[in-house]
A = this chain, B = another copy of it.
Amino acid sequence: MANPILIEATRGPLVESWHRGSIAIAAPSGALALQLGDVERPVYPRSAIKALQALPLVETGAADHFGFGSSEIALACGSHAGTEQHAGLAAAILVRAGLSIDDLHCGAHPPLGAKAAAALIAEGCAPTQLHNNCSGKHAGMLATAVHMHEPTAGYWEVGHPVQQRIQRALSDISGVALGPDVQGIDGCSVPNWAMPLSVLARTFARLATGEGMSPERRQALARILASCWEHPELVAGRGRADTVVMRALPRQVFMKTGAEGVYCGAFPELGLGFAIKIDDGTKRAAAGTAMALIERLYPAARGLMPHGPIKTWWGVQVGAIRSSQTLKDALASLKV
């Protein structure tokens, strides 16, 4: 059966396009506070899982060993905009671990931030691996390998201890086995494991509450989230939802976008995690759904992100991106 329509794009009197998808909201126990659409199909969380991919950086003691503070940890959790600040901090992590840009294997792409991309072009510079939105995550993985006296070559491969440690942590926290049947390769070359949205939602609830975790892991998770809330501009970038909302609502909302229409996050006060996947992989629908959920739970988030109007190049509104009635009804029925 097709997933329900979550987001509609209107133009004039008609709905022009629409986006189907699924949402799960869960407690650490796995009890679902909301499920809409298929929440049992495995979904690659992509970059939405970066906070957990950063866990070994803290748990192995690598972060403390190299003197990484909240900035470095936040960057390791981020899909950054590729500004000078972001690229420079990724470089600093590598230097402190005794490595260089050539040790990275994320590949190069133009900065996600339009201004950062334009600045590079204006300077006549080609983007490097440091500008890849994942360079902080990769630098953190490399620093962990150095700290653990593991080879840095091949740190991106599924059999390397760096990735095995991440796989184990994800499996432990989520409570599901993660084998080759659900393993793909992310755009930055490292493994990514697909999980049902119901599992991702409870995983993020556990990340945010520490429920069921050892005191050490609970502390590491809390340190990671605190780092993101302290430096939301390192998790994404100026004007982007993850940065804007986490700056406005630290400790209340943790959120992280992922490629192909994924959004994951948690509401620590409410003891809930959430996971969203848009069938077609579009960002506008994932962000629209995530913001609708966050605004439902935290009215203070309303108006933070200028989503909604579709405008001509003259700035005249001619349509709108809006929540479907199905999504509105589901969010209205949410008991928290």
Contacts and interface: CB of A to CB of B under 8 A. Distances in A.
A187 B121 contact: no
A32 interface: no
A274 to B, nearest CB: 19
Given A121-B121, A280-B18, A13 B313 contact: no
| Chain A interface residue number, banded | 35 or more
Contact of A184 (B105, B107, B319): B319
Interface in A77-123: 105-109, 118, 121-122
A16 B2 contact: no
Interface stretch (A143-151, A175-183, A298-306): A175-183
Given A11-B184, A12-B183, A44-B14, A313 B279 contact: no
B261 A17 contact: yes
Contact of A188 (B14, B278, B312): B312
Nearest to A193: B12
B314 A16 contact: no
A316 interface: yes
A41 to B, nearest CB: 9
Nearest to A132: B313
Given A2-B20, A44-B11, A279-B18, A312 B181 contact: no
A166 to B, nearest CB: 16
B17 A20 contact: no
Contacts of A17: 260-261, 278-281
A9 B185 CA distance: 13
Instruction: Tell me which of A43, A185, A188, A260 has the highest count of chain B C-beta atoms within 10 A of its own C-beta.
Output: A185
A285 interface: yes
A50 interface: no
Given A313-B109, A313-B187, A13 B260 contact: no
Instruction: Tell me which of A13, A16, A20 has the highest count of chain B C-beta atoms within 10 A of its own C-beta.
Output: A16
A176 to B, nearest CB: 15
Contacts of A19: 280
Given A122-B122, A280-B282, A107 B313 contact: yes
A314 B11 contact: no
Nearest to A191: B12
Contacts of A261: 17
A14 to B, nearest CB: 6
A13 B122 contact: no
Interface of A: 2, 9, 11-14, 16-20, 42-44, 105-109, 118, 121-122, 124, 132, 180-189, 192, 194, 260-261, 278-282, 285, 312-316, 318-319
15 contacts: A11-B185, A11-B192, A11-B260, A12-B183, A13-B183, A13-B184, A17-B260, A17-B281, A20-B279, A184-B319, A186-B312, A187-B312, A188-B313, A189-B313, A279-B280
